[in-house]
Amino acid sequence: MKKIIIIIFCFGLNISGFSQIVQDTTVKLNLLKAPSSPGSNLLGFASSDIDKPTDLSAFMASLQSSTGAFTQLPSNFAFEIVPYWLFKTKTDFTTKGLNSEKKSDIFKQTFALSFAIRNPDSTNADYKVSNTYGAIGFKFSLVRGKYDTKTNETLNKIRNLQNKINKGIRDDLNTLLNSDSTFKKLSKLRKNMLSKFGGDEELAGKDSTYKAVDDAINQLQKKILEKPNSAFDKINEIASPLILNRTGCSLDIAGGVSGEFINKRFDNSRVYNAGLWATFGHTGVRGGSTLFLIRYLYNPNKIFALDNAVNKKVSDISTLDFGGRYVYSNSDSRFTCSAEAIYRSVLSSSTISPSWRLIFNADYAIWQNQKLTFSFGRNFDGVVSKDGNLVAALGFLIGLGNNR
């Protein structure tokens, strides 16, 4: 009898779709995440339309182009800058610096400002054609996890290989500087010519002979970099699949506000929409990760508490939503589980009730292609749902037990 029950139990594990009510998976916690560029996203700019200059000259060129050589405000323009990188401050933005735990470093490396301006046309129903819209946003981190052990090991391997490459180049360079007679003669000639120009490099640079000597020196030196080195391929093998994973706590803040300038006048304006996001997270070394999100929106385009109904903006609406998620997943373990909860509300209206949702999932890999699954949830409308083949198998066994 026991053998029959075990066989039926295993058969039950293979039955899929024997479920109660299917959970709604369209609403995800990630909806509450801060946008990558808050100021630009508040005015509906897609990420691909946001300019992200990394140096001042490119930034000025972009501004000049969008403003008609600084003669007018841009019609539709969005950009995001990382000020501490753009102005080349003494902040380390390489992977060495990005692993720093100092609060000041974390802030400077993650602080970004976004700006946007929109002059809508009649095709966009969210905005009035007669008005101009401008937005400003910010984001930064206060706490950041460190690179995990595997990431650090890979980065150290890369640096060791880089050091080998540098050593080879230095040896070739020393040979050129100290032993190449042509190079030495050209260097001496260049210095003598510069002396004749009184040490004025700008003036000397206009002389064609000086320029030719300088070019010849640079061509000889440039050849060193053309020498092949297998270390480049070794670096590529380990660096191309590299993902910079972090473990530990994180705290990110983002926010933005947009204004509506009535009839395109700066002295007649009101707040159009705004948002504030906070994200707390923790990633464990052994595979557990936790995430909490809080979002405040003023006049959002869609009202989350009303199943994302379009906000017709008849009156001002403020919404507050928050959610949390815990995920456990370890490549060395057969067991994974996750739990997620979301709460949504409208602060400025007593007619729209707040609602919440809870989902719990767990699965256990018995064999490579066989899993025991279980899920349980309560949707925003209060309906409880159960799913997974474990629920089906337990129900089936309970049925067998009752028959006895």
Q: What is the dihedral of CA 308, 310, 314, 315, to 10 degrees?
A: 20
In angstroms, what is the minimal distance from the CB of 198 to other proteins?
7
Q: In which residue are the tokens 């309970």 written?
A: 398
The residue within the footprint of other proteins, chosen from 143, 242, 337, 347 (CB under 8 A), is 242
User: Does 286 contact other proteins by CB under 8 A?
Assistant: no
Measured from the CB atom, the residue of 57 and 208 that comes closer to other proteins is: 57
Pick 94 or 208: Cβ nearer other proteins: 94
> Which listed residue (14, 209, 236, 348) binds other proteins by CB under 8 A?
236
- Closer of 237 and 307 to other proteins (Cβ): 237
d(CA 23, CA 387): 8
Closest CB to other proteins among residues 54, 130 = 54
Query: In what helix (H) or strand (E) does residue 258 lie, and over which residues does it extend?
Result: strand 246-261
Distance CA 300, CA 281 (A): 25
Beta carbon nearer to other proteins, 163 or 329: 163
Q: Is residue 95 within the footprint of other proteins (CB under 8 A)?
A: yes
* Euclidean distance between CA atoms 259 and 116, whole angstroms: 10
Among 244, 310, 383, 398, binds other proteins (CB under 8 A): 244
Minimum distance from residue 306 beta carbon to other proteins (Å) = 36
Instruction: Decide if 154 contacts 240 (C-beta within 8 A).
Output: no
**Which is nearer to other proteins, 16 or 163 (by Cβ)?**
163
Per DSSP, the three-state class of 271 is strand
Could you say whether residue 266 binds other proteins (CB under 8 A)? Answer: no
Q: Site for other proteins (CB under 8 A): how many residues?
A: 55
Chosen residue from 14, 16, 30, 54 binding other proteins by CB under 8 A: 54
Burial class of residue 265, CB neighbours in 10 A (0-12, 13-18, 19+): exposed
Q: Shortest distance, CB of residue 219 to other proteins, whole angstroms?
A: 9
Instruction: Tell which residue, 330, 326, 345, has the closest CA to residue 280.
Output: 326
Site for other proteins in 140-199 (CB under 8 A): 155, 158-159, 162-163, 165-167, 169-170, 173-174, 177-178, 184, 187, 190-191, 194-195, 198-199
Q: Could you tell me which residues are beta bridge partners of residue 337?
A: 328, 362
**Between residues 141 and 385, which has the closer beta carbon with respect to other proteins?**
141
Closer of 158 and 253 to other proteins (Cβ): 158
Q: C-alpha distances in angstroms, 153 versus 92, 133, 369?
A: 20, 48, 33
Per-residue x/- marks for other proteins, 211-230, CB under 8 A?
---x--xx--xx-xx-----
Stretch that binds other proteins, among 96-104, 322-330, 345-353, 388-396 (CB under 8 A): 96-104
d(CA 297, CA 305): 12
How near is the Cβ of 295 to other proteins at its closest, in Å? Answer: 24
- Specify the amino acid at residue 144: R
C-beta of residue 296 within 8 angstroms of C-beta of residue 276: yes
Distance linking the first and last C-alpha atoms of the chain:
11
Instruction: State how beta strands 318-328 and 132-143 pair.
Output: unpaired
Paired tokens of 145:
């996890």
b/e code 164-194 from CB counts within 10 Å (16+ = b):
eeeeeeeeeeeebeeeeeebeebeebbeeeb
* Contact set with other proteins (CB under 8 A): 54-55, 82, 85, 88, 90-98, 109, 155, 158-159, 162-163, 165-167, 169-170, 173-174, 177-178, 184, 187, 190-191, 194-195, 198-199, 201, 214, 217-218, 221-222, 224-225, 232, 235-242, 244
